Amino acid sequence: MQRKRIENIPETITREISEKIIRNELKPGERIYEAKIAEELGVSRSPVREALRILEKNRLVELIPRKGARVAEISSAHIEWFYDVFEALYGLAARKVTEKAGEQDRADLGAALEKIEAAASAKDVEKYYEGIFEFAAIGMRAAANPLLAQILMDLWPSNRRIQYATISRRKDTLEENAGFFRKIYELLDSPDEVEAEAAVRAYARNEKQVALEMIYGKKRENDRDGNTKS
Amino acid sequence: MQRKRIENIPETITREISEKIIRNELKPGERIYEAKIAEELGVSRSPVREALRILEKNRLVELIPRKGARVAEISSAHIEWFYDVFEALYGLAARKVTEKAGEQDRADLGAALEKIEAAASAKDVEKYYEGIFEFAAIGMRAAANPLLAQILMDLWPSNRRIQYATISRRKDTLEENAGFFRKIYELLDSPDEVEAEAAVRAYARNEKQVALEMIYGKKRENDRDGNTKS
DNA sequence: AAATTGCACATTGTCGACAATCGACATTAA
DNA sequence: TTAATGTCGATTGTCGACAATGTGCAATTT
C-alpha cells in the first residue's frame, strides 16, 4: 500500500506561490495579501500565514511586521550575497562528502551525474535541473550534517529563482556546466577533500559570474580572482 | 519620548522559551504544548504557534507536523554539525570584513574588543558574552551580506545554548579566548583576507573542541562509533 | 498653494471555537 | 499470553470574527 505522503495545506500554498515567484509572475516588491490568497485557494488565512513564513525562510518573500509580505527583491547585490553563502556552504558539504560518503552514496551520485549528462546532451533544461537537485540532495545526505542540509534546502528555491532568470542563455551552456559536475564527482572520490571543495567552489563562482553577466551585463572584470589551479 | 522598538507578542514568547531552553530548564526532547504556554502567558495559541516557528529557525525546538514541538536534542554530533557550519560561515564573514570594512566599522570592532578584554580580565562571563555578541554583530554589518547575517543571527541562540552548557569551565579560559578575538581583530586589518579567515576558523575549531571535551569528556579516543549507552 | 490634521478604509494580529488527527489504553480473539 | 482492533482523551490544524494598526485621502489651517 502506497503510504503517499500527504501534503499539508501550508505546503501546497507555499509551492503555489513559490512557483509564481520563481517564474517571475509575481514581481519583486509586489505586495502579497493574506486574504486574497486565502480566498483564491478557498482556505482561511491561518495556513496562508504559515505558508508566508516558509516563503520567508526560502528568501522568496520579505515579511515586515504589521505591514505584510512582499516578493523579495533581486539585484546584483542579492545575487552576490547568495552565491557567496552558497559557495561557503557547498564547499563545506563537498569536503564532508569526500570524508564520509559510503559506497551507496557514491553509486547514487554517479546515477544522478548520468542523469545530468543525459539531460545536458539532450538540452533538456527541466531534466537537467531535476538532475542537479538530486545530485545536491544525495550530497547532503552523504555529508551527514542535517543542519547544513536544512540550511541549503531552505535556500534552494532562491537558487532556482536566480537560475530561472537566466534560463534562456543556459540552454547553450548546459554541457559545459555538466562538466563541472563530472569533475566534482570525480574529486569526491579522491582522498583529498581540499580539491573536492575547490571544485565545488569553482562551480559556485562560475554560477555567480554567469548570473551576474546574464542579468546585469558584463560590467565586472575579474581583477584579482585568486583562482589557483595546481 | 523614546520611540523604543515595541516587541511583538511572539517575540516576547520566543525570548521567554528561548531562555528556558538555553538555561536547560526545558530539557532536550521535552514536549512543548501550545495550549499550556498560551495559558501560562495569558494569550491565545496563535502567537505561541508563531513563536514556535521562530524557535525552530533558531534550532532550539523541533517541530513535527501534527505531532507538535519538542526541545531540540543536543549531542556531540549536534555540536559538530553546528560548529562546522559556524566555521564555514564566520570564515566567509571574516574574509568579507577584511575586504569591505570601513573606518567606522574598525573603530566599533575595536571598542567591542576592549569590552571583551575587560570582561575577560574581570572574569565577568555575562559581559564577555555581551561583548562577543557585539563583536559578531558589528562584523555582520561590516561584512555587508544580509543573507549571511540573517543566517548567523538565526543560529546565535544555538551558539549561546552550547556555550551555556560549558559555562562553568569557561570562566578559566576567558582570557585565552579573548586572545582569539584580539588576533582576529588585528588580522581583519591586514590586507590578506585569507589569514583573517584562517584565524576565525581556528577560533571556531577551538570552540568545537572545548564544547566536545567539556560535555562528553574525552571518551572519544579509540571509539569510532561512540555509541556506548548504559 | 503647501503643510498639517483627522477620518475612513484596508490589512495584519489575536482570539475562542470547532475539526481532524494521533497515541494510549482497554477489550477481544487466537 | 500475545497480537489485533476499537474507542476515547489529548493535541494540533483550521476557521471565521473581532481588535489593533497602518495608509491614503480629504478637509482645514496657515
Q: How far is the CA of A36 from the C1' of D23 (A)?
A: 18
For the domain that residue B39 is a member of, what is the CATH number? 1.10.10.10
Give the end of a domain, one of B71, B94, B119: B71
Q: Is residue A184 over pLDDT 50?
A: yes
Check whether residue A24 has its CB closer than 7 Å to nucleic acid strand D.
no
**pLDDT given at position A167:** 79
Q: Is the pLDDT of residue B199 over 90?
A: yes
B27 alpha-carbon distance from chain centroid? 18
The answer to whether A88 contacts B88, with C-beta atoms less than 8 Å apart, is yes
How confident is the model at residue A226, as a pLDDT?
Answer: 38
A122-125, long-range: CB within 8 Å, 24+ apart, which pairs? Answer: A123/A171, A123/A174, A125/A167, A125/A170, A125/A171, A125/A174
Nearest to A53 among B53, B82, B87 (CB): B53
Counted domains in chain B: 2
Strand partners, B32: B69
Cβ-Cβ contacts under 8 Å, B82 against chain A: 147
What confidence tier does B6 reach under pLDDT thresholds 50, 70, 90?
low
pLDDT of A190: 83
Residue A148's SS3 state is: helix
Examine the fold and report which residue of A22, A47, A71 is the final residue of a domain before the chain moves on: A71
Q: Please report where in the chains the cell 559581559 appears, as a residue.
A: B127
Q: How far is the CA of B223 from the C1' of C9 (A)?
A: 68
pLDDT of residue A20: 97
Is A227 near strand D, with its CB below 7 A from some atom of it?
no
| pLDDT-based confidence at residue B124 (cuts at 50, 70, 90) | very high
Query: Percentage of residues in chain A with pLDDT exceeding 70?
Result: 91
The model's pLDDT over A60-99, given as tens digits with 9 standing for 90+, comes to 999 999 999 999 999 999 999 999 999 999 999 999 999 9
High-pLDDT (> 90) share of chain B, %: 80
Beta-bridge mates of residue A69: A32, A63
Give me the pLDDT at residue B179, please.
95
Say yes or no: Cβ of B150 under 7 A from any atom of strand D. Answer: no
For residue B67, what pLDDT is reported?
Answer: 95
Q: Which of A98-107, B114-123, B144-153, B212-221 has the lowest mean pLDDT?
A: B212-221
Confidence check: pLDDT of B218 > 90: no
Same domain, A160 and A186: yes
Quick one: average pLDDT of B135-141?
A: 97
Question: For A57, which residue in chain B has the nearest alpha carbon?
Answer: B57
pLDDT digit string (tens) for B88-106?
A: 999 999 999 999 999 999 9
Mean pLDDT, rounded, of chain B: 90
Please give the residue range of the domain that contains residue B65.
9-71
Dihedral angle computed from the Cα positions of residues B140, B141, B145 and B151, in that order, rounded to the nearest 10 degrees:
40
Q: Which of A71, A97, A117 is the last residue of a domain?
A: A71
Regarding whether B169 and B66 lie in a shared domain, the answer is no
Q: What is the 3-state secondary structure (H, E, C) of chain B?
A: CCCCCCCCHHHHHHHHHHHHHHCCCCCCCCEECHHHHHHHHCCCHHHHHHHHHHHHHCCCEEEECCCEEEECCCCHHHHHHHHHHHHHHHHHHHHHHHHHCCHHHHHHHHHHHHHHHHHHHCCCHHHHHHHHHHHHHHHHHHHCCHHHHHHHHHHHHHHHHHHHHCHHHHHHHHHHHHHHHHHHHHHHCCCCHHHHHHHHHHHHHHHHHHHHHHHHCCCCCCCCCCCCCC
A32 touches strand C (CB under 7 A): yes
With CB atoms and an 8 Å threshold, state whether B65 touches A8: yes
Task: Say if residue B213's pLDDT is above 70.
Answer: yes
Nucleotide nearest to B48 (CA to C1'): C14
Cβ distance of B92 and A81 shorter than 8 Å: no
- If asked whether residues A44 and A81 sit together in one domain, one would say no
DSSP E strand boundaries for chain A: 31-32, 61-64, 68-71
Query: Among A172-186, B4-18, B125-139, where is mean pLDDT lowest?
Result: B4-18
Instruction: Confirm if A188 and A106 have CB atoms less than 8 A apart.
Output: yes
Query: Do A67 and A80 reside in the same domain of the chain?
Result: no
Distance from CA of A112 to the nearest CA of B (A): 25
Does A56 share its domain with A13? yes
The answer to whether residues B85 and B66 belong to one domain is: no
Task: Give the nearest partner residue to A57 out of B50, B57, B147, using CB atoms.
Answer: B57
| Contact (Cβ atoms closer than 8 angstroms) between residue A204 and residue A83 | yes
Chain B nearest C-alpha distance from A88 (Å) = 6
- Residue A219: predicted pLDDT: 46
Q: Is residue B223 part of a domain?
A: no
CB contact under 8 Å between B89 and A88, yes or no, is: yes
Contact B147 A82 (CB under 8 A): yes
The chain-wide mean pLDDT, for chain A, equals 90
